[in-house]
Amino acid sequence: MGWAEIISLSTFTLALILAIRQIQIMSQEMRPYLSFSGLDTAFIASQQPDSIGMAFSLNLENVGKCVLSYETTQFDVFINNVQLPNVQTKSTGAVIGINTKGTYNRFYSGISPLPTDCRVIFSIEYFRINMPKKKYKLSYEILLEIKENTIIVLYGKSSAN
């Protein structure tokens, strides 16, 4: 092997090292972005007389450029200004792929008296799937009004970091 081949091989190796380093830097700069895209609510039948059940579905969307994992750290529901007891669920989160939507569901039964207003407060921590130490937070509060078995969203406010 002559000097020309050695220099050519060295140049190629250096270019490859610099390209790999650039990819590492770019991947570290990719911040995950979890977006709240809506709250679906529904009444569900209850086996108890003069009571009703309610279902809540958080619609989430990964609008970032990396796969992320999320965990719901708070999900509080207030009916007629009274907080419902927290429901134990098997799952508090999931993994969401790039440009993918996900849904987080909660169900409550035996709500009595029948609700006239409802407030939902939730917080979610999320992170890049390969960087669990750097966490971000999405929080939201939604006020709903219930009239004649119709659920109306009055307002929602968010805070995120």
Which of 50-54, 74-78, 157-161 bottoms out in mean pLDDT, i.e. has the lowest? 157-161
Residue recorded with tokens 């050519």: 8
pTM of the model: 0.73
Find out whether the peptide bond into 113 is cis, omega within 30 degrees of 0.
yes
Taking the domains of the chain in order of start, what are their residue ranges?
1-30, 32-160
How far is Cα of residue 104 from the mean position of the Cα atoms in its chain?
Answer: 8
The pLDDT tens digits for 89-143 are 778 889 999 999 999 988 888 888 778 889 999 999 999 887 778 899 999 999 9
Q: Which two tokens stand for residue 53?
A: 């059940």
32-160: which CATH topology? Immunoglobulin-like (2.60.40)
